[in-house]
C-alpha cells in the first residue's frame, strides 16, 4: 500500500526549517500530501521567496519520507516536492495596513548612520544576489542627494527615462528592476532639496514607478536620520531595515543612531553588515585597517542579527565603477561565499519576521 497523507505528514514532522528551528507541519508550511501508486507528492509553502535553504529542506524531506517508507515496509517510487511562496501582497498580510505598492511582497531599507560606509555597495549586492537565487527584485535609489546607482549599475549608457502614462518605467539590468533620480536629472546638477521637496521626490520615485510584481524591493537610503528615511517609514510597510557599518568606533556611533531611529519608528532591524572589514594585500596578508569585527561586536551588544562582512578588494571597487555587479561573484570563491552569505542571512531574517508578523507601517508623533 502507498503511504497515506497522514503518514507523509508524520514524516514531515521530523523535518525542521533551518532558519526557524521548528518542523514544517508546526510552521504550517505543508500544503499538500498525497500518493499516486508508489509516488509521493508534497507541496511546501516557503516563508520567503527564493529561499536559499530550499535545497536543505528538500534533502530533509527526502530522508524523512524514505525513512517512513522503510518503517512501514513500503516500496517507494519518486518523491515529488513542489515549493511555493506566499503570494499574497504585503498589504493583505498586514490586514488593515495599506501599501501603495500592493504587488511588492517585501520592502527592505538599507541605511547607515554616516556616508562613505558602502551602503550602496551593500544594497546592490543584496538586490543582485537575491535575484541570483531566483527572486524578482527591485532596487530603488533613495539617495536623492547623491545617487550612485547610475554608475554602480552601468545605467549611463542606457537611453533616457521611459514613461507609460503618468508612471515611470524602471530600468531592467543585471536581473533586477531599478529606479534612480540620477537618470532624471543632469549628472552635473547639484541636487539641493528642502524637506518637502525631498519628501515629494522620494514619494514619486517609490510610488510612480511601474515595479510590477516583486518579491523584494531594496531601498538604498541616504545616510543619516533625516527626511528620506522618515518618509520611507511612513510611506511603505517595511519588512525591516539593514544597517551598514564599517568596523571603526566613529562609524558604530552613527550606526547606533540609525538603529535607534528605525526602532523608535517600530521598524524591525533585519541585521547589520560590516563593510570594509579588512584588506587583503598582494602578499596575501590580511590587514585590519579599520579594526576588524567592530560592527559585529556592535550588533552583538545591541542584540541584533549580524548578516556578515565584506572586505576591501580592488576587484569589488573596479566592478562598482564599471557598473558590473554580477562580476563580483567571479572575483574569488571566498568573495562569492561572503556575497551569497549576506543574501542567505537576510532571507533567513525575513523568514523569521514573516512568521512572527513583524511587518509595520509606523506612525510618527512629534511633541
pLDDT along the chain (367 residues), means of 10: 86 86 86 89 81 83 90 86 65 53 91 87 96 94 83 86 86 94 66 56 86 94 71 83 93 90 88 93 83 91 95 92 96 93 92 65 42
Q: Note the pLDDT tens digit of each residue in 250-261.
A: 889 889 998 998
Looking at residue 74, what is its pLDDT?
81
Domains located in the chain, CATH noted? 5-85 (3.30.300.130), 90-356 (3.40.50.300)
Looking at residue 60, what is its pLDDT?
92
Looking at residue 250, what is its pLDDT?
87
Looking at residue 362, what is its pLDDT?
45
CB 309 within 8 A of CB 286: no
Looking at residue 93, what is its pLDDT?
44
Looking at residue 54, what is its pLDDT?
81
Q: Name the average pLDDT for the chain.
A: 84
Looking at residue 182, what is its pLDDT?
81
Looking at residue 2, what is its pLDDT?
81
Q: What is the pTM of this model?
A: 0.79
Amino acid at each position: 500500500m502507498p503511504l497515506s497523507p497522514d503518514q507523509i505528514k508524520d514524516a514531515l514532522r521530523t523535518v525542521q526549517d533551518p532558519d526557524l528551528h521548528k518542523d514544517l507541519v508546526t510552521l504550517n508550511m505543508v500544503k499538500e500530501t498525497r500518493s499516486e501508486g508508489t509516488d509521493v507528492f508534497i507541496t511546501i509553502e516557503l516563508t520567503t521567496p527564493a529561499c536559499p535553504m530550499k535545497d536543505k529542506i528538500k534533502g530533509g524531506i527526502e530522508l524523512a519520507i524514505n525513512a517512513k517508507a522503510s518503517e512501514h515496509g513500503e516500496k517507494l517510487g519518486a518523491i515529488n516536492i513542489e515549493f511555493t511562496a506566499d503570494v499574497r501582497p504585503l498589504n493583505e498580510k498586514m490586514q488593515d495596513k495599506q501599501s501603495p505598492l500592493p504587488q511588492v511582497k517585501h520592502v527592505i531599507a538599507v541605511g547607515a548612520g554616516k556616508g562613505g560606509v558602502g551602503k550602496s555597495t551593500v544594497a546592490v549586492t543584496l538586490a543582485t544576489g537575491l535575484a541570483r537565487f531566483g527572486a524578482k527584485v527591485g532596487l530603488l535609489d533613495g539617495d536623492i542627494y547623491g545617487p550612485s546607482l547610475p554608475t554602480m549599475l552601468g545605467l549611463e549608457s542606457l537611453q533616457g527615462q521611459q514613461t507609460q502614462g503618468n508612471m515611470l518605467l524602471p530600468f531592467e539590468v543585471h536581473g533586477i528592476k531599478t529606479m534612480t533620480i540620477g537618470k532624471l536629472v543632469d549628472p552635473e546638477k547639484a541636487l539641493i532639496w528642502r524637506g518637502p521637496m525631498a519628501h515629494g521626490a522620494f514619494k514619486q520615485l517609490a510610488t510612480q514607478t511601474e515595479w510590477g510584481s516583486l518579491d523584494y524591493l531594496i531601498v538604498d537610503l541616504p545616510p543619516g536620520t533625516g527626511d528620506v528615511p522618515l518618509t520611507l517609514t511612513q510611506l511603505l510597510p517595511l519588512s525591516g531595515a539593514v544597517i551598514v557599518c564599517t568596523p571603526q568606533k566613529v562609524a558604530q556611533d552613527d550606526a547606533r543612531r540609525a538603529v535607534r531611529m528605525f526602532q523608535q519608528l517600530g521598524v524591525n532591524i533585519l541585521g547589520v553588515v560590516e563593510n570594509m572589514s579588512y584588506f587583503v594585500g598582494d602578499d596575501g596578508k590580511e590587514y585590519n585597517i579599520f579594526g576588524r569585527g567592530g560592527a559585529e561586536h556592535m550588533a552583538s551588544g545591541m542584540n541584533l542579527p549580524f548578516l556578515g562582512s565584506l572586505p576591501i578588494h580592488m576587484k569589488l571597487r573596479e566592478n562598482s565603477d564599471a557598473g558590473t555587479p554580477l562580476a563580483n561573484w567571479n572575483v574569488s570563491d571566498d568573495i562569492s561565499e561572503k556575497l551569497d552569505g549576506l543574501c542567505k542571512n537576510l532571507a533567513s531574517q525575513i523568514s523569521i519576521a514573516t512568521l512572527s508578523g513583524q511587518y509595520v507601517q509606523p506612525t510618527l508623533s512629534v511633541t
